[in-house]
Amino acid sequence: MIAILFLLARRLLTALPILLTVSILMFVALRLLPVDPAAMSMPPNATNEDIAAKRREMGLDKPLTTQYAIWLRGALHGDFGRSIQLRRDAGHLVTAALPATIQLALCAMVIASVLGLGGGLLLFHLRGGASEALGDLGTTVLLSVPEFLWALLFILLFGVLLPVLPFIGQLGPQFSVVRVTGFLLIDTLLAGQGSAFASALAHLTLPAAALGIAFSPAIMRVLRSGLLDVYHEDYIRQARLRGIGEGRILIVHALPNAILPTLTLMGVQFGFLFGGTLLVEVLYSYPGLGNLMVDAVRNADLPLIQTVGLTYCIVVLLIGMTVDALVLVLNPRLRAR
């Protein structure tokens, strides 16, 4: 337990400079763009003097370092500036959109884990047999299709050709749900709206499946090779020599060891998966961070881009931290020091 707290503390300490660096990089990069936020935030008939005044008001005439310092001071107090386009607090916009994306990402992670671990076990089971090559071919195909292509394929297959699942938005238009947590699956249940829950789930299925399936093959392969390695270990042979059955050897002895490298990989994969939500959200018009980001980029909405970008960074860091803590829980050898 102490080891886990120690790890989390250390990871938090290293996360701070990472976040700082990312925010500086984004800040500088965004200011290099040939766009003028002041001009964009004014009505089209504003004069040059008005714009200059606005620029002074927004602090854009100050040196870049001062601008960054002002932004950082605000950010530390929870003020991420106002969206130029939407004229609302950027922090609020992000917290409104974040639950939807997290919900999508979590469902996709569950699907990726189930497919990945199940597929890994299946591939391991096929080892040495004639169907091993078939399994290899299958994972290669899965590996070579990116998540947005799955998203398009699913829209065509299950949305257009066989119209069985919705593929626009996150809820049917006939429902309205009171926002409590922001997670639709939870809010519909809290409100006791069974049919709204079913609708939200149906809307979630295709995008989550597209993301999950895209990130599962790497997990399959690592689990398979992990199991192959573990089965060469002395403790597996020794367990067999104690007369322990093959089923128990797989579940109790091999899997808890083989899962460790797999988990580490899943941490990396889920970081990418969270980034992958962006394109999938756009394709499914899913009202999450991704669409917010794309709109912000389209409108050169610098404060919003900065805030959403930083949010992606924080979530990816959190995912990594969670997986590291989980590996620590499952691997006693790491807890030694």
What is the per-residue binding string for another protein in 10-49, x denoting contact by CB under 8 A?
Answer: ----------------------------------------
Q: For residue 169, give the nearest of 206, 121, 137 by alpha carbon.
A: 206
Which of 87, 242 has the CB closer to another protein?
242
Number of other CB atoms surrounding residue 84 within 10 Å: 22
C-beta of 267: minimal distance to another protein in Å? 18
Q: Is 68 helix (H, G, I), strand (E, B) or coil?
A: helix
What's the min distance (Å) between Cβ of 262 and another protein? 13
DSSP state of 127: T
**Minimum separation from the CB atom of position 331 to another protein (A):** 6
Least distance to another protein from the beta carbon of 116, Å? 20
| Cα-only R_g, the chain | 24
Output the 3-class SS for 174-218.
CCCCCCCCCCHHHHHHHCCCHHHHHHHHHHHHHHHHHHHHHHHHH
CB of 244 to another protein, least distance (A): 7
Q: Compose the 302-331 pattern: x for residues touching another protein by CB under 8 A, - for all others.
A: ----------------------------xx
Instruction: Give phi and psi for 229, each to the nearest 5.
Output: -65, -50
Element containing residue 104 per DSSP (H, E): helix 90-125
Of 205 and 257, CB closest to another protein = 257
191 lies in the site for another protein, by CB under 8 A? no
- CA atoms of 117 and 222, how far apart (whole Å): 9
CB 206 within 8 A of CB 147: no
Which of 67, 331 has the CB closer to another protein?
331
| Per-residue mark of binding to another protein, 220-259 (x: CB under 8 A) | -------------xxx-xxxxxxxxx------xx--xx--
Residue 155 has, within 13 A of its CA and on its CB side, a CA count of: 17
> ∠ at Cα 238 (237, 240), nearest 5°?
65
Q: Does 337 bind another protein (CB under 8 A)?
A: yes
Minimum Å gap between C-beta 333 and another protein is 5
Nearer to another protein, 177 or 334 (CB): 334
- Six token digits for residue 85: 């386009």
DSSP string computed for 116-153: HHHHHHHHHHTTTSTTHHHHHHHHHHHHHS-HHHHHHH
203 vs 253, beta carbon nearer another protein: 253
Reading the block at residue 314, the tokens are 């924080």
If binding is defined by CB under 8 A, does position 336 make contact with another protein? Answer: yes
Q: Does 77 bind another protein (CB under 8 A)?
A: no
**Minimum separation from the CB atom of position 260 to another protein (A):** 8
Q: Which is nearer to another protein, 6 or 57 (CB)?
A: 6
Nearer to another protein, 87 or 337 (CB): 337
Name the residue nearer to another protein (CB basis): 84 or 239: 239
Residues that bind another protein (CB under 8 A): 233-235, 237-245, 252-253, 256-257, 260, 330-333, 336-337
